Amino acid sequence: MPSPKTRKDPQILSPRQQHLLLDTLHQAENVRDGTLISLVLKTGLKSAEVCGLNVADVWQDG
């Protein structure tokens, strides 16, 4: 009988790594990717949840 699959612990970016990533995207003027990465880092959404978002799912103030 095959053994059950084991899950790897998620890799977590340090605050410094997060800032470097966002700074790099900002310098490249990559607004879309920077927004998505910022959304993931600030909300803890999983990649599948972000991929399933629609424009209508995002609430904008103003």
62, pLDDT greater than 60: no
Query: What distance in Å separates the CA atoms of residue 58 and residue 4, rounded to the nearest whole number?
Result: 38
Locate the domains of the chain by residue range.
15-50
- Reported as a pLDDT band with limits 50, 70 and 90, residue 20 is very high
28-54: pLDDT as tens digits: 888 888 888 888 888 888 888 988 988
59, pLDDT greater than 80: no
- Which whole number is the average pLDDT over 18-31? 87
In 3D space, the residue among 36, 29, 37 whose CA is nearest the CA of residue 58 turns out to be 36
